[in-house]
A and B are shown apart, each in its own frame.
Chain A
């Protein structure tokens, strides 16, 4: 797939533009730059200036004394993360849960999009899409409460099992099952909304290809394997690559809602740790150090994901 830059698109005939100075460009398009100013100001105030706050990670921070009054301690607070059992656990859990959600979520989204795409009745199609997308707009506090009721040992799932003499499935208290429960419940909540992009991709496949394949005797499965999947493959790769940038976002609200002491070892993630230590216990320096670690790794992963998206799906932003 060819690369198309913004500059190329901007000029008819694809001729290279004559290089102009910044002042000339601003003068030529000053209304646009003027409109950009509020956004730029907001970004500086809320995104750039707060970066100064990361220095809290390198001091023993006393809020009322400020950074200048807080002694510099170097990487002391990072040691808590890297030299403790807890640090290893939260990084591992974050990766396992986030990668699991990324892969399972994409598979579910693709599968659902393929199924919906096959539906002939447009009304049923729309009802299916809307009903499956609704959970995406609901808070995890609500969804979490529902799942706790459903999956507890006396819940709707386990009560019938126990009634017929089968053991209850410890969805929320088994250390192995808990991350799987997190992944599956997240997939349930998001697959409907996540399928939208794949449905859009499916509509770009030329119907003539299906007709030609049918004439050649291809069945549904053959058409799926040889036309549909290759047709949306760039989108799948793109979504996976972009998802890499979110690989340290394992779902704070969901984990906080469903976590319990029995599954700390496999359920506690970076975000819940930062919340607990930073916001609840008020250890701002440790919380910032762990948050900074996450941000740096995420930044590297985002760069990597954009590179991969460009390399394998021809998708470029910059």
Chain B
């Protein structure tokens, strides 16, 4: 037996196997061939799209005439700014890429302003690379920063350029007015001693985080229930749906419960509380919303939901796409999301013709309270690298001047891509002609695709825009609805008859018109020393208790323990600092 497996034989066998593997590896493989074929098919599909567009019958013509505002200045040679990208790429059409597509080329050709990719990453890798840049002194020319803590850190590190003089000289009166310069709250984080160290931008009310209730009416009809108006009614409906087997986890949420989409913050709002927000107390001071007695009542409701199986059992580890997937699969039928989820909803309804999502009002609590988190005033800023060449700052601001002129007068310039995200509204991209020479949706016109096509982090849409931008656009479009369709051009007809556009318009305006329900974070100053010092520990503590109570790992009475621990472990120091800031603001 032993002779059968001598070392020599083993080595020989291994050698033959390795050689075989090498030959097999080098040889053309069936699987690879299939892949190649698949790729060819994809390319062909893309080519077909382009061919279809370019071979449109000459009878099909645009009946609007898009023009562009004159360039404030054309840079020759072009000014190229480096910027990191914290996003994945869309599926590019043809030979397009991040720096070669209609949206990018329009800016480059008209203004001579372009961008280069400093690096591209997603998730935590982005934060790591940002911090590595800071530590190594390899910052990009511009960087979009999403948190006041980060903005403060860049300024305190003397890593951000003072752009005051160039801004004052270059920003157009229209840009300054629309961006509420200098008195808008959004400028607070980037301002030090009257000087600005970044270009603030805010998407304005009802934008990213403001949750709008959405419910599947077709499912409610099956149990004969009206659209729930209160927390009790919402609970009863969810219970009934579970009982009837019409939903597996009726109400959807994400891992922190309170977040930017599919958040359950309206439940806190129904009890007059709001997690992670500084709210105005009865005595005029600011208090932390997670500690309010109403927060305990909200947790009581949520833990009841969890116990009854209304929430996904492992929501605390669920990824964002997976939570959205619960709605897409029909396992969940009720959710609270921002207006831009209208795009996804339209897709789901298209794929499931019997589905019908309708707006559900924010549920009222026992005292009739309603509330949701509000879009923060100081939201983001584009920060410029310390030592950046002044011409780059000037070029960037001129790009914003040009964009805002286009936004504000979008109907005059007939730039219909301004309806959202500053699209170029290019044929073969956002739209194509159909057989009746009317417009139909193009290959990149789904919400994410177009947005990613347009997005060049640090310069794309919102950063060139202003707080009331979306409200202005949708209000303009509302007027089209009352007009005779024949009096509209094809682009206008296409937009207001597009289910996705209509849905997003409906949801945005729902949020905008109920903006009085927003519970704003009253602290919008630079993060205090204790906030930076204790941020990690307190966040962890809050998550541990919040998720622990909801999942039943901790009793509801642990909420009082949380309040005491929060105060003891740095919360009291933060509260004192926040109120010092508040008093200074009032003065």
Contacts and interface: CB of A to CB of B under 8 A. Distances in A.
Nearest to B533: A80
Given A84-B569, A261-B544, A65 B157 contact: yes
A264 B569 contact: no
Interface stretch (B126-134, B342-350, B398-406): B126-134
B551 interface: yes
Contact of B317 (A86, A172, A286): A172
A277 B151 CA distance: 17
Interface string B139-173: 00000000001100100111100000000000000
Interface string B535-570: 111001101101110010100000000000100111
Nearest to B10: A126
B314 A280 contact: no
A39 B265 CA distance: 57
Nearest to B543: A261
A175 B553 contact: yes
B570 A84 contact: yes
A26 interface: no
B235 to A, nearest CB: 22
Contact of A65 (B5, B158, B553): B158
In this complex, the member of A152, A268, A279, A286 whose beta carbon has the largest number of chain B beta carbons within 10 angstroms is A279
A86 B569 contact: yes
Interface in B514-545: 532-537, 540-541, 543-544
A63 B5 CA distance: 62
Nearest to B532: A283
A262 B541 CA distance: 10
A93 interface: no
B22 interface: no
Nearest to A279: B128
Given A63-B134, A153-B314, A123 B5 contact: yes
A281 B152 CA distance: 13
B135 A86 contact: no
Contacts of A268: 540
A153 B306 CA distance: 14
Contact of B386 (A64, A154, A286): A64
Contacts of B256: 261
A15 interface: no
Interface residues of B, number: 44
B314 A173 contact: yes
A148 B137 contact: no
A274 to B, nearest CB: 11
Interface string A252-275: 000000001110110010000100
B314 A282 contact: no
Given A173-B316, A280-B131, A262 B536 contact: no
Nearest to B160: A64
A211 interface: no
A273 B536 CA distance: 9
B153 A282 contact: yes
B314 A276 contact: no
A89 B130 CA distance: 29
A268 B135 CA distance: 26
A54 B565 CA distance: 31
Contacts of B537: 80, 84-86
Nearest to B129: A279
A85 B157 contact: no
A85 B544 contact: no
A277 B536 contact: yes
Contact of A280 (B124, B137, B153): B124
Given A85-B569, A122-B5, A264 B544 contact: yes
Interface in B232-276: 255-256
Contacts of B390: none
Interface size range of chain A in the complex: 20 to 34
A231 B138 CA distance: 58
A154 B548 CA distance: 19
B157 A64 contact: yes
A273 B150 CA distance: 19
A62 B157 CA distance: 5
B135 A63 contact: yes
A191 interface: no
A173 to B, nearest CB: 7
Contacts of A140: none
B350 to A, nearest CB: 29
Nearest to B128: A279
A286 B42 CA distance: 50
A281 B135 CA distance: 13
Interface in A142-158: 148, 152-154
Nearest to B313: A153
B131 A282 contact: yes
Contacts of B541: 85-86
Given A85-B537, A276-B536, A262 B551 contact: yes
Contacts of B5: 122-123
Interface in A66-120: 80, 84-86
A268 B536 CA distance: 12
A64 B314 contact: no
A82 B53 CA distance: 67
A179 B156 CA distance: 40
B536 A260 contact: no
Contacts of A283: 532, 536
A284 interface: yes
B158 A281 contact: no
Given A62-B157, A80-B533, A85-B537, A282 B317 contact: no
A87 to B, nearest CB: 8
A279 B134 CA distance: 11
A171 to B, nearest CB: 11
In this complex, the member of B537, B551, B565 whose beta carbon has the largest number of chain A beta carbons within 10 angstroms is B537
Contacts of A174: 553
A140 to B, nearest CB: 15
B317 A260 contact: yes
A160 to B, nearest CB: 16
B316 A262 contact: yes
Contacts of A264: 540, 543-544
Contacts of A260: 255, 316-317
A264 B538 CA distance: 12
25 contacts: A63-B136, A64-B157, A64-B159, A65-B157, A65-B158, A80-B534, A80-B537, A84-B569, A85-B568, A86-B540, A86-B541, A123-B5, A148-B317, A154-B314, A173-B314, A174-B553, A260-B255, A260-B316, A260-B317, A262-B544, A262-B548, A264-B544, A265-B544, A273-B536, A279-B127
| Top 3 closest pairs, chain A to chain B, by CB | A86-B537, A261-B543, A282-B131
Interface of A: 62-65, 80, 84-86, 122-123, 148, 152-154, 172-175, 260-262, 264-265, 268, 273, 276-277, 279-284, 286
Given A64-B159, A261-B543, A277-B536, 20 more contacts: A63-B134, A63-B157, A64-B137, A80-B533, A80-B537, A85-B541, A86-B541, A148-B317, A172-B317, A173-B551, A260-B317, A261-B256, A262-B316, A262-B547, A265-B544, A273-B536, A279-B128, A279-B131, A282-B127, A286-B533
